[in-house]
Amino acid sequence: MNIDRDSFINASKELLKIVLTLCIGVLGSILFIYLNLPIPWLLGAICATSFAVRYDTLPLKSPKIFSSPARVIIGVTIGSAFSPEIFNYLNVYFFSLLLVIPFTIITILLGMFYYYKILHFEKKTAFFCSIPGGLIELVILGEQIKADTRKITLVQSSRLLFIVLSLPFIVHYIFNVDVSGNQVITETLSQIDLKQLFYLVCIGTIGAIIGKKLNLFAAFLMGPMFLSIFAFSIGFVDSRPPDELLKLVQVIFGTIIGFTFKGIKLDIVIKTLLSTFGHFIILACITTTFTLIVSYFFDFPILSILLAFAPGGQADINLIAIIVGANVPYIAVHHIVRLFLVMNLSNIFAKRLE
């Protein structure tokens, strides 16, 4: 009995730490809304958490436990953007998708050159630092071939931080898309039909189970997304996840990203950010080049093209796409292809480097 009671008390304390962390993220979001800054629920949570984790006396804990449910919600939301009309654009999608192959290869080669030749990283570590996406999978593969996983985690987290922080400002100030304030992304919880909400919960849950059983990359995102695409395409369901849930998802991902640098000395964080900034500039140049090439050949919104080729995480970029009202199906398909390429190339080269 005492063991059960102690376990309950410890679990309650850990949960309170997570709740406190999320509250700090929400406070950061509210500050960003007040300052009228882009994508406040995501960026405000990142900034507030990044600042708070510097203080070891605060009883904080990363809300990673909510990462999988949050990915399920994003997966279902991505799927909700698909409709039969998407087939009218398959020719544009196909030729644009072909460019993902050279984009991925060039990104890895130039990143490898930067980390190996300029920053003098060990070859295996340089390779995994250069790959755009799949942080968890890259760390696992890097660990298997005895690469420096600490460097890989820091560098990949820094890349993600630069991309997630910069994209909303580019969207807001260059493309003049209003992504500031407390705007409603989808219908609110009070407006959604309970039957539809039940269907969405079932789609997300079943999709996650199938994705895990099939051992898909990013299973909790991909499984619900594929099942959601099918359900929305046949008209089985027509409501997207409620707005409140999507805002909570942004806070969860914001606090997780902000938590990345907890426990790491400030000088190491600054050094990593400065060294990774060079790679970020390379990525920005490659992304801009491919965005301009695609926009030149195809009459397609340049904002959607930019987000499709942005070298961020599948969940993060698609979340931004949903918030800014970009062409989510186009963007999602590109990131699925890039993730597939990245994971397969990682496996091939990991074996050769080992």
Which of 91-100, 248-257, 303-312 shows the lowest mean pLDDT across its residues?
91-100
CA distances from 333 to 30, 289, 296, 314, 330 (A): 33, 20, 20, 10, 5
> Any idea what the Cα angle at residue 331 is, between residues 337 and 71, rounded to 5°?
80
Rounded CA separation 52/153 (Å): 20
Rounded CA separation 85/238 (Å): 15
Most confident of 171-175, 205-209, 308-312: 205-209
| Mean pLDDT, residues 323-349 taken together | 82
Rounded CA separation 269/286 (Å): 25
13-57: per-residue pLDDT in tens?
899 999 999 999 999 999 999 888 888 898 899 999 999 998 888
Identify the pLDDT of residue 76.
Answer: 92
% of the chain with per-residue pLDDT over 70: 91
Token pair 């400030």 in the structure block, residue = 266
Most confident of 6-15, 197-206, 340-349: 197-206
CA distances from 306 to 2, 40, 71, 284, 294 (A): 57, 21, 22, 10, 9
The larger pLDDT score, comparing residue 324 to residue 91, is at 324
Rounded CA separation 122/331 (Å): 34
Is the pLDDT at 352 greater than 80, yes or no?
Answer: no
Helix count and strand count (H, E) for the chain = 15, 0
CA distances from 348 to 189, 212, 337, 345, 353 (A): 45, 23, 17, 5, 9
| Mean pLDDT, residues 273-284 taken together | 92
pLDDT-based confidence at 142, cuts 50/70/90? confident
| Mean pLDDT, residues 117-145 taken together | 80
Rounded CA separation 46/29 (Å): 9
pLDDT-based confidence at 269, cuts 50/70/90? confident
Rounded CA separation 319/254 (Å): 11
Identify the pLDDT of residue 27.
Answer: 96
Identify the pLDDT of residue 309.
Answer: 93
Is the pLDDT at 223 greater than 80, yes or no?
Answer: yes
pLDDT-based confidence at 156, cuts 50/70/90? confident
Identify the pLDDT of residue 319.
Answer: 85
33-44: per-residue pLDDT in tens?
988 888 889 889
| Mean pLDDT rounded to a whole number for the chain | 85
Identify the pLDDT of residue 267.
Answer: 85
Identify the pLDDT of residue 183.
Answer: 64
Tokens of 286: 């490659």
157-199: per-residue pLDDT in tens?
888 888 888 888 888 788 877 766 666 667 788 888 889 999 9
The larger pLDDT score, comparing residue 235 to residue 107, is at 107
Contact of 290 with 302, CB cutoff 8 Å: no
Identify the pLDDT of residue 249.
Answer: 92
Distance in Å from the first CA to the final CA of the chain = 49
| Mean pLDDT, residues 208-230 taken together | 89
The larger pLDDT score, comparing residue 300 to residue 86, is at 300
